[in-house]
Structure 1
Amino acid sequence: PYPVRGYYGMCTNPLVAWADSALTYEALESLDFLAMAEIFMTPTAAMADIVLPVAHQYEMNDIGHYGIGHGMILARPKVVDPPEECWPDIKIMNELGKRVSPPEYWHDDFETFLDDVLRPSGLTYREFAEKGVLKGPDRFHLYREKGFHTPTGKVELKLSTTEKFKLKALPEFTALPEDEDPDYPLILISAKSRYYLLSSYRWVEKLRLKRPHPIVEIHPETAAAHGIGDGDQVVIETKYGEIRQVAKITDIVHPRVISAALGWWFPEADATRQFDWKSANFNMLTSIGKLGKEFGTPNIKNL
């Protein structure tokens, strides 16, 4: 009964990163208000009514949890102060929270959040920053005391929760989400880039020199069958849309598979047209029509 009429985004670029970019564009366009918090202008930020400049990770105090698998958290104090109008995300959320919910839920100084997180350790953030790292005690075989995080407390090779969610109790092979279609005989996947992170860093000159164009990897047999040469610009088409990327002929992929680049847009293009977000964007080829039963997520990696 209450449709979404506004969106505030941070650390995200949904116009390129979410499945079915064409539908995502329509959804964002339909909103009454769109705001983004960003360091750089992105296709989504270019659509926004307001773009809030945010502090970089080196311009704010934070806690690094990168070693949490080893029982450690790291102090990540700021290196320099941010430009005057650039706020850390946590400060923006703290001030926004005061305006949309009871102010007593929030802090006068947003950095007090960090002290809250550290309170069980008995340290303030300042003390933690001087120490640099905290490591919890090594405790092994906790399952002997508390069991595992399952309804039975045991290792469940056959999941006891599947009946509730109408899922299969044992994992099994499933076919590709799209039905075989002679008009689309190849399998499309996307692999991690060694130069970029999702839709980030296309504005970094040194990286663009190494990978200036979006690359689609094609097996030599497949390329020969379609008259494609190395370096040719090719059209990649699914039933949902089409894009253009540059062919790289390689036997790293199977003859029935092509591997296209994910997350592409062009910072050098026109901002009023959202930096040419359509022409090479992998998610112009995907759909939200078939969701994974286990998590309800759309397919954005292979078709």
Structure 2
Amino acid sequence: MTELMLKYFRTKQKEVQKEKLYNTQCPFCSMQCKLQLIEQSVVSRKQYKTVGKENPTTQGRLCIKGMNAYQHAFNRERLKYPLLKVNGEFIRISWDQALEQIKHQFTKIQEEDGQNALAVYGSASITNEEAYLLGKFARVALKTKYIDYNGRLCMSAAASAASQTFGMDRGFTNSLSEVSLTRCIILAGTNIAECQPTIMPYFEKAKENGAFIIAIDPRETATTKLADLHLKLKPGTDAALANGLLKVIIEENYCDEAFIQERAHGFNEVKDYVLSLKLENIEEITGVPIDQIRKAATMFGKEATGMIFTARGVEQQTDGNAAVRNFLNILITTGKIGKPYCGFGAITGQGNGQGAREHGQKADQLPGYRSIENDGHRSYVADVWGVDPEELPRKGVSAYEIFEKINEGEITGMFLMCSNPIVSNPNAAFVKTALQKLKFLVAVDLFMSETAQLADLILPTSSYLEDEGTMTNVEGRVTLREASYPCPGEVKHDWQIIVDIAHVLGKEKYFSFSSAEEIFNELRLASRGGIADYYGITYDRLRKEGGILWPCPETDYKGTVRLFEEKFAHHDGKAVMVTVPNKSVVPKEDVCKEFPLYLTTGRVMSHYLTGVQTRKSPALAARNFESFMEIHPAAAANYQIPDQSLVKIESRRGSIIVRSKYSESIRPDTIFVPFHWADSQNVNVLVGAELDPVCRMPGFKLSAVKVSPFH
């Protein structure tokens, strides 16, 4: 063999063996699993493999989404350069040109239409640093009161219920490690097996240890199969079902009288109300047989320990806040809160659903879960920011209501970051029409989403592989997402984009950041002394400890594993119970002759939110390449719907076309459609605009519809 050939083969051998490792976290659900991307250079191409990394929450587990997340990050359709719409077509421009466009248009809009004519719409998928900076940007750089985010559509019911009941909201009152040792678990409106698959081992272990599991869901799912008892209620009747459980618990004397006396207000009013109810009426309302209500209440009441977990099935209702509060009434009545193996968990949907709602993206919030209407809170944050408290705007409106303000002409410009509201919001056709009325829409995104297509200017942002920062997972555990993969093209991080815009608007002195860690250090200070106190958390600690449960007020504090052991977060240390009526104060749609079926919505395992990212992953898209309607065969026969056929679903708002899928696991009066698809398959076109009066959550989980074959 010649020397030249040997040299050639040695070179090729080195290429095959070349390997790079990138540590990061999954960009999808709230488990925030740690992972490592292995990039191998094989001859002239690259191959990728994902492996899980040890961490306190998921111990190295990954699901199908996490294993394939890299596919969307490397998709050829990634946006890599700023794009300006000219005569209906997008053209590539420089960052300097893009920033000048924003400066010109934003300044003009506020001069013509007022300070609050600009709105900011954020995301629960961005880092804590970026969520914090976006809230500061709205209030300091733009001085607008109109900011909210897509997490309003996910966690607002549980967050507001916990705040009202306990005085604070951290998704889980305990760490996940306690789940496996509790004696009774209620899973209300949550399909964790598909939505948060890596959480399942905790519940499987609990069952192995003898826990009795109760699932509340209109459908049989992979999660309900784990349960010992499945309460298959009518959609939207969770609050009434909780009243039935409370009635039995109180009548059978499973109350913890000492706990109630020492640590709660409002029990007597709740007791008087539920004892006035008849289980026969609750059975009629919910469709759950009395014997099942009794069994569930007895099992939860008699066990020494128990936990309740809620998710979107309970929360995405026009009485979602009240329904969650009623499940919290059960915990307080039985004394199962603030003790080992007892507590509440609101199972967060989005990757940073917890952290994103703590530091200023919500209309009424400042960093650290402070209130924008509280003068003391305003003064503290204004001092950190170096501005006059009087200059900070007051509260604005919720996510969906922003689009109503656009439609009315009060808002004429928008800065949209990493969200797809024309797919994710209720009454989706209206939202699209409203956005088309804007004078100037800036969209920051990875891809040309359905909403980005409507934008006047699109700015390309970085992915989870590229963007370092902290996230707060389902437990309330702050984690550090390492991210060192180089950005493609001219892509910038979300925080860099915000900083650059602030600079061209003349606000550079308030936004002089050069790293995510610098932003986090200001966030720590801004949150200090607040409910969500991150002051004691640092990047160094997160690297060493793998994650820290807030509140963490000092750098030598280990973090708070279990909340409310001695007192609740209200000033007097007591929880607040409230009477919850069987019927929502906001009337819900009921079925009728014209619209005889209940529609409920949800997720499938292979997709996430509006599918913008997961539909760009071939491995995930192949598992569910189109939407579908799950329908009971008996109901399908009534409406002449063959299995695997195209079907038209209509509500009072509009119609969609999807494929039928027979399932005997769903109630015959109910259909299910996932929400990951757009355009003619966008189920949120069918959902009404009514909002929960407390938290402004739309009623995604209940619409009255009719179905017919599509010809």
TM-score, normalization: structure 1?
0.81
SS in 1 for 2:616: coil
The separation in 2 between residues aligned to 1:192 and 1:255, in whole angstroms, is: 20
Is 1:156 the equivalent of 2:565?
Answer: no
The separation in 2 between residues aligned to 1:128 and 1:95, in whole angstroms, is: 29
The separation in 2 between residues aligned to 1:50 and 1:99, in whole angstroms, is: 16
User: 645, 648, 652: which one pairs with 1:239?
Assistant: 652
The separation in 1 between residues aligned to 2:437 and 2:508, in whole angstroms, is: 31
For the Cα contact (< 8 Å) 1:94–1:110, is it kept in 2? no
Comparing 54-63 and 78-87, the one that deviates more: 78-87
Q: Which residue of 2 aligns with 1:11?
A: 418
The separation in 2 between residues aligned to 1:42 and 1:191, in whole angstroms, is: 20
User: 674, 687, 690: which one pairs with 1:286?
Assistant: 687
Q: How much does 1:213 deviate?
A: 1.6
SS in 2 for 1:41: coil
Q: Which residue of 2 aligns with 1:187?
A: 598
For the Cα contact (< 8 Å) 1:216–1:258, is it kept in 2? yes
The separation in 2 between residues aligned to 1:110 and 1:247, in whole angstroms, is: 49
Is 1:75 the equivalent of 2:493?
Answer: no
Q: Which residue of 2 aligns with 1:116?
A: 522
Letter of the 2:419 counterpart: T
User: 427, 431, 441: which one pairs with 1:24?
Assistant: 431
Kindly tell me: are residues 122 and 56 of structure 1, through their superposed partners in 2, closer, same or farther at Cα, counting changes over 3 Å? closer
Comparing 251-260 and 59-68, the one that deviates more: 59-68
Q: Which residue of 2 aligns with 1:300?
A: 700
SS in 2 for 1:210: coil
Kindly tell me: are residues 63 and 108 of structure 1, through their superposed partners in 2, closer, same or farther at Cα, counting changes over 3 Å? closer
Comparing 213-222 and 101-110, the one that deviates more: 101-110
Q: How much does 1:302 deviate?
A: 1.7
Q: How much does 1:104 deviate?
A: 1.7
The separation in 2 between residues aligned to 1:95 and 1:52, in whole angstroms, is: 12
The separation in 1 between residues aligned to 2:542 and 2:561, in whole angstroms, is: 28
For the Cα contact (< 8 Å) 2:591–2:597, is it kept in 1? no
User: 668, 672, 676: which one pairs with 1:259?
Assistant: 672
Is 1:197 the equivalent of 2:608?
Answer: yes
CA RMSD of aligned residues (A): 2.5
Kindly tell me: are residues 142 and 189 of structure 1, through their superposed partners in 2, closer, same or farther at Cα, counting changes over 3 Å? closer
Kindly tell me: are residues 225 and 24 of structure 1, through their superposed partners in 2, closer, same or farther at Cα, counting changes over 3 Å? same
For the Cα contact (< 8 Å) 1:75–1:128, is it kept in 2? no
SS in 1 for 2:443: strand
The separation in 2 between residues aligned to 1:205 and 1:25, in whole angstroms, is: 28
The separation in 1 between residues aligned to 2:595 and 2:438, in whole angstroms, is: 35
- What pairs with 1:11-90 in structure 2 (closer than 5 Å)? 11-66=418-473, 69=476, 72-90=477-495
The separation in 2 between residues aligned to 1:216 and 1:13, in whole angstroms, is: 22
Kindly tell me: are residues 185 and 36 of structure 1, through their superposed partners in 2, closer, same or farther at Cα, counting changes over 3 Å? same
SS in 2 for 1:78: coil
Please list the CA deviations of residues 80-107 of structure 1 after superposition, one character each: whole Å capped at 9, or x if unmatched: 1212411111111122223446322111
The separation in 2 between residues aligned to 1:215 and 1:141, in whole angstroms, is: 41
Is 1:172 the equivalent of 2:581?
Answer: yes
Please list the CA deviations of residues 126-173 of structure 1 after superposition, one character each: whole Å capped at 9, or x if unmatched: x4575363545255787577x423354302223xxxxxxxxxxx1232
Ranges in structure 1 where 5+ consecutive residues have no aligned partner:
159-169, 266-276
Kindly tell me: are residues 21 and 140 of structure 1, through their superposed partners in 2, closer, same or farther at Cα, counting changes over 3 Å? closer
Comparing 9-18 and 80-89, the one that deviates more: 80-89
- Structure of higher CA gyration radius: 2
For the Cα contact (< 8 Å) 2:601–2:675, is it kept in 1? yes
The separation in 2 between residues aligned to 1:156 and 1:128, in whole angstroms, is: 35
The separation in 1 between residues aligned to 2:545 and 2:481, in whole angstroms, is: 8
The separation in 1 between residues aligned to 2:621 and 2:615, in whole angstroms, is: 6
Q: Which residue of 2 aligns with 1:161?
A: none
Kindly tell me: are residues 50 and 185 of structure 1, through their superposed partners in 2, closer, same or farther at Cα, counting changes over 3 Å? same
Identical pairs, percent: 24
Q: How much does 1:43 deviate?
A: 0.5
The separation in 1 between residues aligned to 2:569 and 2:668, in whole angstroms, is: 43
Kindly tell me: are residues 141 and 264 of structure 1, through their superposed partners in 2, closer, same or farther at Cα, counting changes over 3 Å? closer
Kindly tell me: are residues 65 and 242 of structure 1, through their superposed partners in 2, closer, same or farther at Cα, counting changes over 3 Å? same
Kindly tell me: are residues 152 and 221 of structure 1, through their superposed partners in 2, closer, same or farther at Cα, counting changes over 3 Å? same
The separation in 2 between residues aligned to 1:261 and 1:156, in whole angstroms, is: 36
Q: Which residue of 1 aligns with 2:29?
A: none
Q: How much does 1:235 deviate?
A: 0.3
The separation in 1 between residues aligned to 2:576 and 2:455, in whole angstroms, is: 47
SS in 2 for 1:63: strand
Is 1:93 the equivalent of 2:498?
Answer: yes
Ranges in structure 2 where 5+ consecutive residues have no aligned partner:
1-113, 118-409, 526-534, 549-556, 704-711
Kindly tell me: are residues 133 and 187 of structure 1, through their superposed partners in 2, closer, same or farther at Cα, counting changes over 3 Å? same
The separation in 2 between residues aligned to 1:214 and 1:139, in whole angstroms, is: 42
SS in 2 for 1:172: coil
Letter of the 1:116 counterpart: E
Kindly tell me: are residues 173 and 29 of structure 1, through their superposed partners in 2, closer, same or farther at Cα, counting changes over 3 Å? same
For the Cα contact (< 8 Å) 2:422–2:431, is it kept in 1? yes
User: 512, 517, 539: which one pairs with 1:107?
Assistant: 512
Please list the CA deviations of residues 197-254 of structure 1 after superposition, one character each: whole Å capped at 9, or x if unmatched: 1212223222222112211000010011111111000000111111101000111111
Q: How much does 1:193 deviate?
A: 1.3
The separation in 2 between residues aligned to 1:203 and 1:194, in whole angstroms, is: 15
Please list the CA deviations of residues 25-58 of structure 1 after superposition, one character each: whole Å capped at 9, or x if unmatched: 1110000011111111111011111111101111
The separation in 2 between residues aligned to 1:50 and 1:22, in whole angstroms, is: 22
The separation in 2 between residues aligned to 1:179 and 1:259, in whole angstroms, is: 16
Kindly tell me: are residues 129 and 157 of structure 1, through their superposed partners in 2, closer, same or farther at Cα, counting changes over 3 Å? closer
The separation in 2 between residues aligned to 1:37 and 1:82, in whole angstroms, is: 15
Aligned residues: 274
Q: How much does 1:301 deviate?
A: 2.4
Kindly tell me: are residues 53 and 232 of structure 1, through their superposed partners in 2, closer, same or farther at Cα, counting changes over 3 Å? same
User: Which one has the bigger helix percentage?
Assistant: 2
